[in-house]
Structure 1
Amino acid sequence: MNFNLSGFLNVFRLAAKPSLCLPHATVSTFGDLPSPLDRAFEVQGKKCNIKAVVLDKDDCFAYPDTNEVYPSYIERFQQLRKAYPGHRLLIVSNTAGAKSYDRDGRLAKELESATGISVLAHRVKKPGCKDEIMAHFKKHPETGVTHPSEIVVIGDRLMTDMMLANMMGSWGIWIKDGVKPLSQKSIFSKFEQRLGPMLIARGLHALDPSSPFE
């Protein structure tokens, strides 16, 4: 069973501040990500300096429970690798690399082999692993990341990926439709697809990442 204690505990935080789960930008699929990524926020008049990307896997760039990049997204995936080389592109999954689920790290190694991208080994699942993510970038100073506002989180889930982005002080891009048809998605994903637009209609919005230089 892939129980997410971090997600369960942070539901109470979300109840107090629903905007924590909202994205800064939304696209339908991974293939619709703008290039460069900064353009996703320009339409809102927001300026950012994205130096690194935290990338979800399941129903984001890959079909759930597989490691291969979904065929339609291969070109965009390679563009992202070129734009954010080396450790500037990091996969953070609640399956591969999550020590409570991937105890021996086998899934992480298989995913790294299939994608050529580093997979974060983390004790706390999303959305609570912000410290472990920042420790990764601190360990790799060549990325140039000195502050969470220089990171964008890309994923298909509001209450894990987008909540992680807001709690970390980063940018979030929501992959709303993903790979799986809506009829095959989990009850949680279906709920989030209604929740996001409802909260936005109420006038709520994602938290603005604050740069230390502002």
Structure 2
Amino acid sequence: MNKLLQNVNLAGASLFLQILGGNQSLALPHISVPDISWVDWPAVKAAGFKVCIFDKDNTLCEPFALAVPPALLPSFSACRAEFGGNIVLYSNSAGLQQYDPQGVEAAALEAAFGVQVLRHKDKKPAGGCEELQQQFQCEPHEMVFVGDRYLTDVVFGNRHGMLTIRVAPLTSQGEPPTVVAARVLEDACVRRWSASGIKAPLQQLLPHDQCSRLVKQKQQEQQQDQEQ
């Protein structure tokens, strides 16, 4: 039953319904890339960001896996080299008081990935940023949130003024039907809003016209070639 409930995010669904008729920019990421290997981590650090927060499933690894795939490992290592101990996994299951009150799942992920897992009380995108501020002693606008979901990861990061980086999901295999359905809705809405000119909220450290410099130049050119 717990596993089933973990896939139901009523607070997130309620917030998304509010966004449909309100502040749609909250669902738009500052940066969209195919995966984390496109991110220039030294540039992110040089821009003034102090903390990097990762979603796990379909961002760092396939759902329920306990290792970063070889293709992404150099990028994750580069991020760790830049941010050191200021990297954390923010999960809607591991470390969440409702489902992992003793931190058993969180400890298993910490052992597998070698980074901290945030202990927190609310599912993304609901809740505040207090746990992160207390842990890292910096302001939310100095944090980066990296995830594959518009509804949870991007909205949470934007609500708190973080830089949001959205990656495409690594796979659709193994995802619960509720997540698959939510993705279809999210993707359709974001495409429509982007086409109408809506952009992510202003980020205190990085203006919109400078976000592209955090994407590796060679891969930017590759993406442009593909679009042409």
Q: Tell me the TM-score normalised to structure 2 length.
A: 0.78
2:13 match: 8
1:29 match: 35
2:57 is paired with a residue of what secondary structure?
A: coil
Any residues of structure 2 matched to 1:179-194 within 5 Å, and which? 179-181=170-172, 186-194=180-188
Q: Which amino acid aligns with 2:199?
A: H
2:57 match: 58
Specify whether residues 13 and 37 from structure 1 end up closer, same or farther in structure 2 by C-alpha distance, changes over 3 A only: farther
* Contact residue 48 and residue 150 of structure 1 kept, 8 A: no
Q: Any idea what the Cα deviations from partners look like across 1:66-101, whole Å, max 9, x if unmatched?
A: 221122111111111111111x11110112112222
Any residues of structure 2 matched to 1:158-197 within 5 Å, and which? 158-176=150-168, 178-181=169-172, 186-197=180-191
| Matching of residue 203 in structure 1 with residue 194 in structure 2 | no
1:71 match: 70
* Contact residue 58 and residue 170 of structure 2 kept, 8 A: yes
Number of residue pairs aligned between Structure 1 and Structure 2:
196
Q: Any idea what the Cα deviations from partners look like across 1:167-207, whole Å, max 9, x if unmatched?
A: 0011100002x210489771212332332222111110110
2:41 is paired with a residue of what secondary structure?
A: coil
In 2, the alpha carbon distance for the partners of 1:55 and 1:94 equals: 12
| Matching of residue 104 in structure 1 with residue 102 in structure 2 | yes
Q: Any idea what the Cα deviations from partners look like across 1:117-140, whole Å, max 9, x if unmatched?
A: 1101111000123324xx333344
Specify whether residues 183 and 117 from structure 1 end up closer, same or farther in structure 2 by C-alpha distance, changes over 3 A only: closer
Q: Which amino acid aligns with 2:153?
A: D
Q: Which amino acid aligns with 1:28?
A: P
* Contact residue 172 and residue 180 of structure 2 kept, 8 A: no
In 2, the alpha carbon distance for the partners of 1:183 and 1:67 equals: 14
Root mean square deviation of aligned Cα: 2.3
In 1, the alpha carbon distance for the partners of 2:34 and 2:55 equals: 15
Q: Tell me the TM-score normalised to structure 1 length.
A: 0.83
Rg larger in structure:
2
2:24 match: 18
1:122 is paired with a residue of what secondary structure?
A: coil
In 2, the alpha carbon distance for the partners of 1:149 and 1:207 equals: 12
Paired-residue identity, %: 28
Q: Which amino acid aligns with 1:148?
A: P
Flag structure 2 segments of 5+ consecutive residues without an equivalent: 206-228
Specify whether residues 112 and 163 from structure 1 end up closer, same or farther in structure 2 by C-alpha distance, changes over 3 A only: same
In 2, the alpha carbon distance for the partners of 1:37 and 1:9 equals: 35
In 1, the alpha carbon distance for the partners of 2:64 and 2:127 equals: 21
1:125 is paired with a residue of what secondary structure?
A: coil
Q: Which amino acid aligns with 1:123?
A: K
| Matching of residue 116 in structure 1 with residue 114 in structure 2 | yes
